[in-house]
Amino acid sequence: MSASEVATSLLMLIAGIGVFLVACKLMSSSLEALGSNKLKALFAKTSKSKLVGVGIGTVATAAIQSSGATTVMVIGFVNAGIMTLAQATTVIMGANIGTTITGQIVALGLFGSSISTTVIFSAFAGIGAFITLFAKKDSIRKIGGILAGFGMLFVGLYLMSSSMEVFAELDAVKTFLASISNPLLLVLIGMVLTAIVQSSSVMTSLAISMVFSGLISLDQGIYLTLGSNIGSCMVTIIAGFGSSTNAKRTALVHLIFNVVGVIVFMLVGMIIRLASKGGVTFGTIFAKMFPNALNTQMAMFHTIFNVVTVILILPLTNLLVKLVTKIIPDKKQPEDANAPRLYYIDEHLLSTPPIAVQQTKNEIVNMAELAMHNFDLSCDIICKIDFSEVENFRNNENQLNFLNKEIVKFIIKLTKLELSESDRKFLSSAFHTITDLERVGDYAENIVEYAENLHAENEKFSEDAIEEIRHMQELIGNLYQEVMKAYVTNDLSVVDDAKEIEESIDDFTDRMQESHIRRLDEGICTSDIGVQFMSLASNAERVADHFMNVAESIQTYAAQPQSNAHSQNAKKAQNKDKFYRGKNSKNKKKHK
């Protein structure tokens, strides 16, 4: 055999691995985008039931064809507080079972017939490509992407198996591989190769192809597959590195689970060989269980290995959690406990865009709660001229500014990924929502500044003025409740209720200004106090406007927009901003 033929086979192997990896990614992203709501609902069902967690991990991994992706998303869930460590452990166990589906698909593709099943399934790549190219509906294009990815799996498999057939004819290659009979060495080779390509599916499929072509024995393929299970943990370790303590623990759980499973099977294999004096091995056992089907023998070992490992370790889940908790203890409380942080979103969630979108919305809701809390604090401070909570207020303001920047950064990264049309529309509106909420924080900060001005002049509002401020605060609190109800549930009918409250706030702030003028005429308050009161009333009205923008933002993705009410309301708020900055520039800080 010439050197050019060997080089060609090597290039075919590299091409096959590349096509296989791209196919897995294409199937994964298309399935996630198509079934985003189902995927969200699936992971929402994580509970204290260990079997439920295993089932969720199995189904999710079988669907997206990647245990690494499932495990990375689980680390993101733990890091964001969606899952407990115990729940994540059971899902990871299920992911190891789900990943065996790829091996079964590969084994199916290697069956011989008058027309190769590999060729038949490879044709789905072309069918899916045509659907993706010509379909108009986004959901149909996603189905095309799934079919194309499925077909490309077999194209990659064909290239890999073809290259293996060429290598199988080389005496030097066969002699070299035959010399590698030590199970531990084979496990190490499988582990290193999997860590390099970062896909146990590729390594398992490659091992099945090598066994099928006669390049290696069934026993060699089995131990390479065992090694690939440990090597697959590299993706998880990378994902957990630099994350929260629980995320690191999750990565360690995955490593321990896979290593223990491999050790148990290697010990059992050694005992079997010793007891039979070398006559019985895993290879001979599976050859008898599935005669005349080398591909099935390898695939079934992979499945049985992972299922048995889960059965053995599942009852020990709580002990495993305690072990990793001791190995990676909780960090000491940082010196700055008030340092800004994200509560729901995490970089690792980007591996699962539908979940990342939902968590982005949760983070925005958290930001809204913080903005409303600071507005309430500002009203308390100016009514009582009591600055005991001002440090808490400043910390909240820092957190709002931090969230404003970090959520936007996360959304920018998220919009570059494969998303459903509704998720993309939501993220587009989210940019404006975050700005609205950050403005609410700015206006609360202005109100605290007005309180500081009153305190410096040894002044305070009259009882009538304080009563009006409290009533205005109550109205804005009611508006906030309706806004959040609309935003969280995507209920457009609630938007109309919120609009009525917002209009009543506009009316009341107008009356506040009229009352202020009356008090000036009666000499109840001074002009200096009046400036602060008028500024506060204007701030409050525009806080209501920005909250209303948040509610109306759902019209862009919850249903067909009925009007351009949101843009009109936003314009209204902007016009008031310009007017207010011109009128009160001496008493108001610039917007951030």
Of 407, 405, 225, which is closest to residue 299 (Cα–Cα)?
Answer: 225
Residue pair 245/270 in contact (Cβ under 8 Å)? The answer is: no
Any domain includes 333: no
Does residue 34 or residue 413 have the better pLDDT? 413
- Say if residue 297 is in the same domain as residue 358: no
More reliable by pLDDT, 436 or 23: 436
Can you give the pLDDT at residue 279?
Answer: 78
Query: How far is the C-alpha of 529 from the C-alpha of 455, rounded, in Å?
Result: 11
- Residue 568: its pLDDT value, please? 47
**193 and 54, same domain (yes or no):** yes
Task: Tally Cβ neighbours within 10 Å of residue 510.
Answer: 12
Decide: residue 176, CB within 10 A, 0-12 exposed, 13-18 middle, 19+ buried.
exposed
Range of the domain at 98: 3-327
Average pLDDT over residues 302-307: 89
User: What is the band of 26 on the pLDDT scale with cuts at 50, 70, 90?
Assistant: confident
**Measured CA distances, 212 to 109, 114, 179, 222 (Å):** 11, 18, 19, 12
The secondary structure of the chain in percent helix, strand, coil, rounded to multiples of 5, reads: 80, 0, 20
Q: Which DSSP category does 334 fall into?
A: P
Q: Model confidence at 42, in pLDDT bands (50, 70, 90)?
A: low
Tell me 560's DSSP state.
-
Which residues have a Cβ under 8 Å from the Cβ of 445 and sit 6 or more positions away?
374, 378, 397, 589
Instruction: Work out whether the CA dihedral 239, 244, 249, 252 comes out positive or negative.
Output: positive
Q: How confident is the model at residue 280 (pLDDT cuts 50, 70, 90)?
A: confident
Contact 402, 366 (CB under 8 A): no
Do residues 55 and 94 make contact, with C-beta atoms less than 8 angstroms apart?
Answer: yes
Q: State the pLDDT at residue 587.
A: 38
Q: Tell me the per-residue pLDDT of 422-454, one tens digit each, with 9 for 90 and over.
A: 888 999 999 999 999 999 999 999 999 999 988
Cα torsion 317, 319, 322, 327: sign: negative
What span, in angstroms and rounded, lies between the C-alpha atoms of 216 and 211? 5
- Give the helix/strand (H/E) hosting 268: helix 245-275
Which tokens belong to 184? 């531990």
- C-alpha R_g of the chain: 31
**431 and 301 fall within a common domain:** no
The residues, any chain, with a CB within 8 Å of residue 379's CB and separated by 6 or more, are: 447, 469, 470, 473
For residue 312, pLDDT over 70 is answered with yes
Mean pLDDT (the chain, rounded): 79
The total number of residues shown for the chain amounts to 592
- Whether 22 shows a pLDDT value over 90: the answer reads no
- Share above pLDDT 90 across residues of the chain, in percent, rounded to a whole number: 24
The answer to whether residues 328 and 252 touch, using CB atoms and an 8 Å cutoff, is yes
Give the residue-averaged pLDDT of 3-20: 79
Last-in-domain residue among 294, 327, 360? 327
- Note whether 83 and 146 are same-domain residues: yes
Q: Which long-range contacts (CB under 8 A, 24 or more apart) does 306-311 make?
A: 306/96, 306/97, 306/99, 306/100, 306/229, 306/261, 307/97, 307/100, 308/261, 308/265, 309/93, 309/96, 309/257, 309/258, 309/260, 309/261, 309/264, 309/265, 310/54, 310/93, 310/94, 310/96, 310/97
Query: Stretch 114-141: mean pLDDT, rounded?
Result: 78
Same domain (yes/no): 298, 436: no
Q: Say if residue 225 is in the same domain as residue 277.
A: yes
How far is Cα 71 from Cα 91, in angstroms, rounded to an integer? 8
Residues 150 and 98 in one domain: yes
Report the distance separating Cα 232 and Cα 139, nearest Å.
Answer: 32
Residue 334 lies in a domain: no
Q: Which whole number is the average pLDDT over 363-370?
A: 94
Q: How confident is the model at residue 141 (pLDDT cuts 50, 70, 90)?
A: confident
Final residue of a structural domain among 271, 292, 327: 327
State the pLDDT at residue 242: 58
Rounded Cα–Cα distance for residues 312 and 248 (Å):
23
Average pLDDT over residues 241-246: 68
How far apart CA 9 and CA 2 sit, in angstroms, is 11
Contact residues for 103 (Cβ-Cβ < 8 A; gap 6+): 201, 204, 205, 208, 298, 299, 302, 303
Q: Which CATH number is 458's domain given?
A: 1.20.58.220
What span, in angstroms and rounded, lies between the C-alpha atoms of 250 and 344?
Answer: 17
List pLDDT tens digits, range 322-351: 999 898 887 665 545 567 888 888 777 787
Last residue of a domain, one of 327, 362, 380: 327
294 and 224 inside one domain: yes
Alpha carbon 460 to its chain centroid, in Å, reads 49
Q: Which residues neighbour 388 within 8 Å (Cβ) at sequence distance 6 or greater?
A: none
Q: Is 97 exposed, middle or buried (0-12, 13-18, 19+ CB in 10 A)?
A: buried
Task: Say if residues 200 and 231 touch (Cβ distance below 8 Å).
Answer: yes
**Per-residue confidence (pLDDT) for residue 354, from 0 to 100:** 77
- Considering the domain architecture, whether residues 318 and 358 belong to the same structural domain is answered as no
Residue 371 CB coordination number (10 Å): 29
Structural domain total, the chain = 2
Helix, strand counts (H, E) of the chain: 24, 0
What b/e readout covers 82-93, taking b as 16+ CB neighbours within 10 angstroms? bbebbbbbbbbb
358 falls within a domain: yes
Q: Which residue has the higher pLDDT, 179 or 321?
A: 321
Say if residue 110's pLDDT is above 60.
Answer: no
Query: Is residue 588 assigned to a domain?
Result: no
Residue 341 lies inside a defined structural domain of this protein: no
Residues 60 and 169 in one domain: yes
User: What Cα–Cα distance (Å) separates residue 378 from each residue in 184, 440, 462?
Assistant: 67, 11, 17
The Cα-based distances of 308 to 181, 236, 252, 257, 509 in angstroms read: 25, 22, 20, 12, 69
Same structural domain, 319 and 393:
no
Question: Does residue 575 surpass a pLDDT of 60?
Answer: no
Helix (H, G, I), strand (E, B) or coil at 31: helix
Q: What is the pLDDT of residue 29?
A: 66
Q: What are phi and psi of 560, to 5 degrees?
A: -65, 130
In a domain, 46, yes or no: yes
Phi-psi region for residue 328, left (φ > 0), alpha (ψ -120 to 50) or beta?
Answer: beta
Residue 58 is predicted with a pLDDT of 83
Q: Closest Cα to residue 243, out of 68, 414, 80?
A: 80
Q: What is the pLDDT of residues 560-571, one digit of tens each?
A: 444 444 444 544
Which bin fits 491, alpha (ψ -120 to 50), beta or left (φ > 0)?
beta
User: What is the model's pLDDT at position 349?
Assistant: 76
pLDDT over threshold 90, residue 43? no
What would the two tokens of residue 408 be? Answer: 């936007």
Token reading at 465: 């003025």
Return the pLDDT at 578: 40
Same domain? For 396 and 356 the reply is yes
Q: Is the pTM of this model over 0.75?
A: no
Mean pLDDT of 150-174: 70
For 26, other C-beta atoms within 10 Å of its C-beta total: 24
Q: What is the dihedral of CA 168, 169, 173, 174, to 10 degrees?
A: 70
For the chain, the distance separating the N- and C-terminal CA atoms, rounded to the nearest angstrom, is 71
**Is residue 242 a part of any domain in this protein?**
yes
pLDDT band of 118, cuts 50, 70, 90: low
Q: What is the pLDDT of residues 397-423, one digit of tens each?
A: 999 999 999 999 999 999 988 787 888
Quick one: tokens of 548? 């209303």
Residue 451 domain flag: yes
Q: Mean pLDDT, to the nearest integer, of 476-484?
A: 94
